[in-house]
Structure 1
Amino acid sequence: MTSYVLAVDLGKTSCRGSLRVDGGQTRYAEGRGSPALANAGGVAAAEHAIRAVIDQIAPTTPFVLSVGAAGAASDPEAAAVLAQHLAAVRTISSVAAASVAVTSDAVTAHAGALGGSPGVVLTAGTGAVATAVDAAGRFTRVDGWGPLLGDEGSGGWIGSEGLRAVLRAHDGRAPRTALVDAVGELYGITLDELPKYLGQQDNPTLIAARFAPFVATAAATDETAATIMTAAGGALARTVLAAIDRSGIRPPVPYAITGGLLKLGAALLDPLDHSIAHAIDRRAPLGDPIDGAALLALDPTTALEALVARIV
């Protein structure tokens, strides 16, 4: 029997959707992300972002909708509500989802990267979280607490630290940094306008995260930027090592890293890799979070099933 799966990866930066027929992608769409599900209005924002991607793909046959959403691990009730809302969604051609599965984007990242096998996966994008699954299927999550309480070393964290450093330099509380000029280049505003500009945004963490590549680039020649990137790598390393320790998996632990922060390169990855090399068995990711969502869509027997909200 032919399987139709619409796998969705909903992050704070973007929402990506892939329509797969018998495992092969036939259509793809991408739109804006949304704040974490646990945020005020998070479910409504997530539903809006997912609906926009579904409308772009426009399935014409009933499909299994499988979503990995940022913040679902922190608020399983919100994930269940989102699943209920999505079960009522109809496409432009009046086709509805035959069933719906919603889980955390960290869970789909783990499933995609290690294919359901034990190990640790670090997902580092606008936010940051490490997930571990042991041989008995026990699931451990470290960080992913959002921009106010955690996500240390993430794109949002790096960008925010960079912007804080810029304002310290602007005030004379710290030496001047090359990052000062980057603010105007990226945002087209003066430093005095920065707080108001961020305060007016629906998702200020996403806006701050856009500054992270500038920090990474400047790290080669700017001491302030280099310090931030080293601190980010160290923070991510502590997250990975804590996940290993709490999971009880004996090193060397199968490990993979996924997410947009890979694009920041050596400025971030060198300090991270140096700190965790003794504890990991590095693996190339088998797939990305969309692949993980597609896997979980059709297989309710994985060790991750307890973390999935399903509407059948």
Structure 2
Amino acid sequence: MAAAEGRMIIVVDGGGSTTACAAFTGTHEHGRTELPSCKPAAGDTRTDELCRYLGSWLVTTHLNIASSDILLVGMSGVWSQEERRSYTEDLDLSWSRYVGDTVPRITVVSDIELVQLAALNGRPGVVLVAGTGAIALGIARDGRQIRVGGWGPRIDDAGSGFWMGRKALRAVAWMLDGRGPSTLLIRPVAAFLMADPADVPTLQNKLRTTSIDRCARLAHAVFAYAAEGDAVAMHIRGEAARELARLITTVCSDTSDIPPDIVLYGSLWRDEPFYRIVHGLVSDQVHGASLQTMTDVLASTAEAMLTAS
């Protein structure tokens, strides 16, 4: 997967909410874009969709697509060897159909393994990704991987943006029922549902019927109202912090062969108070823990690949 300095690399970070892409020659960035999520769904790798987006974007960059040497895709929802094989085969066909006849060398990894490459570049340590979903990956000194979380929103993703969004929706439903305390989260929840918070019957109906697939966007509303002192929002924020800290402590307790060098990546870490809460919890439970955040996985990946060449 090492990249020669003079060849073009396209890096794709496919998350549950967005897909970030950038093209590099060495560490020189030609351009980048943010596309809708193309995370695979049941029975559909969605590589056609991804390559239609990529093809349209690459045309605007005026790059020589035929000179692309490597296409590195870190995709949420792709983990097992069979999933990688199937995704790679579909991506190869989709590229030739929607982007160009010359298909670059394709490498497919999970999204957290892309972050691991960018953040640690082969070194042992721990990566925690927390955005729409949540997953931790530990790399031991002997190369073993210890994965915790990443089970998806239907059964887990505790502490993630989706998990917090669902908690906010439930808190408002319980408030309307009289089962839970009053919360100002009714305002962002009503906006998410495109309803008037004062129109209770409409709000109740929309809570019952509207898809919650995109409720991860409510996480930052939880942070905002927690900062204003809303008790329900503060409780949700605290629960999320404890769940994410538990992912890290579980990885670190699995074996003593993982150094406590911990890299945090994902949209939730943009909230400084939330980061401080998680930092405090982990520092109290993991001896010698060193936490840092990473903001640009695309550029860091290109640099790591060049270093390895």
TM bin (shorter chain)? 0.7 to 0.9
Residue equivalent to 1:57: 58
Alignment of 1:288-307 (within 5 A): 288-291=296-299, 293-294=301-302
Give unpaired runs (5+ residues) of structure 2. Answer: 196-202
CA-atom RMSD, angstroms?
2.4
**1:183 corresponds to 2:185:** no
Residue equivalent to 2:86: 81
Letter in 1 for 2:45: V
What's the offset of the Cα at 1:271? Answer: 2.8
Kept in 1, the 8 Å contact 2:193–2:210? The answer is: no
Kept in 2, the 8 Å contact 1:65–1:100? The answer is: yes
Kept in 2, the 8 Å contact 1:151–1:157? The answer is: yes
Alignment of 1:10-25 (within 5 A): 10-25=14-29
**1:152 corresponds to 2:158:** yes
Alignment of 1:228-243 (within 5 A): 228-243=236-251
% identical equivalent positions: 26
Kept in 2, the 8 Å contact 1:62–1:95? The answer is: no
Cα distance between partner residues in 1 of 2:36 and 2:24: 21
Give the TM-score of the pair, scaled to structure 1: 0.84
Give unpaired runs (5+ residues) of structure 1. Answer: 199-203, 302-312
Structure 1 residues 4 and 79 mapped into 2: Cα distance closer, same or farther (>3 Å)? same
Kept in 1, the 8 Å contact 2:27–2:306? The answer is: no
Give the TM-score of the pair, scaled to structure 2: 0.85
Residue equivalent to 2:38: 34
1:142 is aligned, of 117, 137, 148, to 148
Cα distance between partner residues in 2 of 1:40 and 1:241: 31
Kept in 2, the 8 Å contact 1:142–1:239? The answer is: yes
**1:43 corresponds to 2:50:** no
Residues paired across the two proteins, number: 289
Cα distance between partner residues in 1 of 2:110 and 2:147: 11
Cα distance between partner residues in 2 of 1:8 and 1:56: 13
Residue equivalent to 1:307: none
Kept in 2, the 8 Å contact 1:152–1:235? The answer is: yes
Kept in 2, the 8 Å contact 1:66–1:293? The answer is: no
Alignment of 1:1-312 (within 5 A): 2-35=6-39, 37=40, 39-44=41-46, 46-58=47-59, 59-60=63-64, 61-63=66-68, 64-73=70-79, 75-88=80-93, 89-90=95-96, 94-189=100-195, 190-198=203-211, 204-205=212-213, 207-220=214-227, 221-249=229-257, 253-266=260-273, 268-278=274-284, 279=286, 280-285=288-293, 288-291=296-299, 293-294=301-302
What's the offset of the Cα at 1:297? Answer: 6.2
Cα distance between partner residues in 1 of 2:303 and 2:101: 22
Cα distance between partner residues in 2 of 1:113 and 1:298: 14
> The residue matched to 2:29 in structure 1 has which SS?
strand
